[in-house]
Structure 1
Amino acid sequence: MKKTILAMAVPALLAAGSASASINLYDAEGVKVDASGAAEVQYIQDIGNNQDGKWRLDDGDFAINTEVAVSDKLTAIAAMAFEFEMAGGADGADTGEYRSNVENDELYVGFKGDWGQFTAGRQYLLMDDSGITKDYELSVNSFGVDIEQATQVGKYVYDNGTVYGAATYTDFSDGFDDDSAEAVADGYGAGDDLRIYEARLGYRFADVDARVYYQRVDNIGRNTDTAGNIISDELNQDAYNFEIEYAGIENVGIAASIGRTSVDGLNKANKVVDTETDYMSIAADYTMGKTTFAVGYDNKDIDGESSDLNGYYANVTYALHSNAHVYAEVGDSDGDDQDFGYVAGMEVKF
């Protein structure tokens, strides 16, 4: 069966039209295989001090999804996906590092049925889906620990159209894996026993969609002495975000969210840390024909800082096709020495 599927994949990709959201490669004998992908390139100047405009290969994705009917009520599923990006993101342009970077960002198996879906393997965490901002790049708010996906993830998802929920458990008992190298570089440490627990619960009624995300991170890192002996656990983190969206006005979308991240424990200097950061976002968009206009405002209030950080953005998107669009965005914040940012880009997907 595998040889037949692979033999059909290349000609199917070459012959498929661009109108579908994905391409069906094979559908017979209870086996279904679909492929999808996207490419996005931008020219961006980040919000910040003395930033320069640069080209960014923002997104390149290719995914294969498989379903195998085990019975009338149970389906086995599997997926693999790859990201293609410029090494170092937009910052690579500053150092002349125009190397390509290919990463396997999803590789999992599982089951689904009327009871929901359970998968295990390399997957994106729930907090990667959180946020109601309508920006492309220039929102100042983000939530949770800065680990988008990991290898040792178990995920359960349920959605009956009205009530939906999800939960994940991520285990770094063997220390950070290769997928978390960026998190290590960002200061999250490379200690053992890091675990992430997540939950999402949502409810849809009339034109309203409301949901809440929660994330608990135990042992973000470990302090060790020169001999490698553990001195203490470093930091633990709790984060939540409550979100609500309203679509009861024709061609208009309105959204708002509030959230908080709390960090406690000992830092690398073995000093007690107990800080909280509050987040708030509001956003709206209006669609007129093939053009969508969006604006947003973000607020970030960090413990111990004398003033909040406020961010603003506005963008316009034009749909060339259901699978292709171009966009432009400007954004700014009231942070110290922060120049405004802008981005223009194009995305094509299948």
Structure 2
Amino acid sequence: MKKLLLAVAVSTVAAGSVNAATVYEKDGFTYKLNGDFQVQFRQATGFDERAEVEYDDLELKNYVAYDLGNDLTAFGRLDFGFKDAAEKDENGSNLEEAFVGLKYGVASFSFGKQNFATDEFGIEQAIEVETVDEDRFEGIATDGDDTIRVDIELENVYIAASHEMKTNDGASAGIDGEYYDLFVATELAGLELAAAYQQARAYGSADSMDTWGISASYDFGFMNLAADYSSTDEDDFETTQYNLAAVFAVAATTDVALGMGNKEEDDADDITEWYANVTYKFPAAKNVSVFAEIAQSDLEDASGDDADMGFLAGMRVKF
């Protein structure tokens, strides 16, 4: 589930998470650790689905930084995820991010295993999506193992650009080819606008797959209203998607989100999915929350029967 206010909420790769606990800080060296543990009971939207315990996030994120003087900082991240191991009863963990970089003033440069710039795009507020991806970028690729990235965080403008170097290790890493990504967001008087673009080229191919998206959100005080639109063009075959989302602060501790997503491919029926969820954060510890969600889509099986409604309830603890 992504935040609506990107330009305000986005932390650059050099900054570390705002929720991270500072484990050690001395003589210009900083070590931060943060975690995100989310476990839920869920029955997915679909046909003949069964309820199960699902691990959405089981993450530990390590951040280290050295102050090199003259406004220059060296940093590194090493993040592990354990949800696949928990669900599949496997030993070990999944390395999610591993990169190093330098930050000077408002700009940072990093390289390694990390998210693409377009991973920042999107306003979708579902806890889980089943039928429709969060956006078109999520449906293509949003991270890689050979990624170079630049982040620039100005007062009211955030810019990120990344390049996934040309590789042919798709069989093992899920990445085949090269990617160029750009994301820009700005916020003015409660209105936030964002745009993103990705050019993907498969290994050994001269043709590219181009994806772009735009989004807008506005803070009315009592609610946040947002929309995005994204499109992918490959070999004159177009896939488009839009999302609408509204988040209401019904109490100081409770948010309610309503939203829907629609995906349409050339020569195919469009797919629509809607959702509604509620999240309660405990007053004594805002990083502890419980939540519930229902979701439905207009998918039909071969016999014309409608998909069953999905639902979930769970708990999240982070630091």
- Tell me which interval the TM-score lies in, with the shorter structure as reference length: 0.7 to 0.9
Q: How does 1:271-290 map to 2 (within 5 A)?
A: 274-287=236-249, 288-290=251-253
The residue aligned with 1:336 is 300
1:46 maps to 2:44: yes
1:114 maps to 2:105: yes
Alignment CA distance shift 1:74-1:40 (3 Å): same
1:300 maps to 2:263: yes
Alignment CA distance shift 1:146-1:173 (3 Å): same
The residue aligned with 1:347 is 316
Letter of the 1:23 partner, please give it: A
Shift of 1:172: 3.6
Shift of 1:235: 6.4
SS in 2 for 1:296: strand
The residue aligned with 1:262 is 233
Letter of the 1:24 partner, please give it: T
Alignment CA distance shift 1:100-1:291 (3 Å): farther
| CA RMSD between the two structures | 2.0
Letter of the 1:241 partner, please give it: G
Structure 1, unaligned runs of 5 or more: 1-19, 185-189, 223-232, 265-273
Shift of 1:65: 0.8
Shift of 1:60: 0.8
Alignment CA distance shift 1:149-1:218 (3 Å): same
Match of 1:217 among 186, 195, 200: 200
Q: Percent identity of the aligned residues?
A: 25
Q: How does 1:168-207 map to 2 (within 5 A)?
A: 168-176=162-170, 178=172, 180=173, 183=174, 194-207=177-190
1:241 maps to 2:210: no
Alignment CA distance shift 1:84-1:173 (3 Å): same
Q: Distance in 2 between matches of 1:115 and 1:138?
A: 34
Query: Conserved in 1, the CA contact under 8 Å of 2:120 and 2:183?
Result: no
Structure 2, unaligned runs of 5 or more: 1-17, 302-306
Match of 2:136 among 122, 143, 146: 143
Q: Distance in 2 between matches of 1:281 and 1:173?
A: 32
**Greater shift in the superposed pair: 132-141 or 104-113:** 132-141
Q: How does 1:37-186 map to 2 (within 5 A)?
A: 37-87=35-85, 97-100=88-91, 102-138=93-129, 140-141=132-133, 142-144=135-137, 145-176=139-170, 178=172, 180=173, 183=174
Give the number of the structure whose alpha-carbon radius of gyration is greater. 1
Query: Conserved in 2, the CA contact under 8 Å of 1:151 and 1:177?
Result: no
Q: Distance in 1 between matches of 2:92 and 2:125?
A: 27
- What is the aligned residue count? 291
The residue aligned with 2:30 is 32
Alignment CA distance shift 1:53-1:172 (3 Å): farther
1:323 maps to 2:316: no
Query: Conserved in 1, the CA contact under 8 Å of 2:40 and 2:312?
Result: yes
Query: Conserved in 1, the CA contact under 8 Å of 2:136 and 2:240?
Result: no
Letter of the 2:266 partner, please give it: D
Query: Conserved in 1, the CA contact under 8 Å of 2:103 and 2:109?
Result: yes
Shift of 1:72: 2.4
TM-score, normalised to structure 1, is: 0.78
Alignment CA distance shift 1:254-1:109 (3 Å): same
Deviations 1:67-100 (A, max 9, x none): 111112211111111011134x8xx6xxxx4335
Q: Which runs of 4+ in 1 moved over 3 A?
A: 145-148, 233-236
SS in 1 for 2:83: strand
Q: Distance in 2 between matches of 1:115 and 1:293?
A: 35
Shift of 1:115: 4.0
The residue aligned with 1:252 is 223
Q: Distance in 2 between matches of 1:115 and 1:58?
A: 33
Shift of 1:174: 4.8
Letter of the 1:236 partner, please give it: S
Deviations 1:133-169 (A, max 9, x none): 1110036233225434222100001111211111000
SS in 2 for 1:339: coil
Q: Distance in 2 between matches of 1:239 and 1:78?
A: 30
TM-score, normalised to structure 2, is: 0.85
Query: Conserved in 2, the CA contact under 8 Å of 1:56 and 1:86?
Result: no
Query: Conserved in 2, the CA contact under 8 Å of 1:32 and 1:67?
Result: yes
Q: Distance in 2 between matches of 1:122 and 1:76?
A: 17
SS in 1 for 2:128: coil
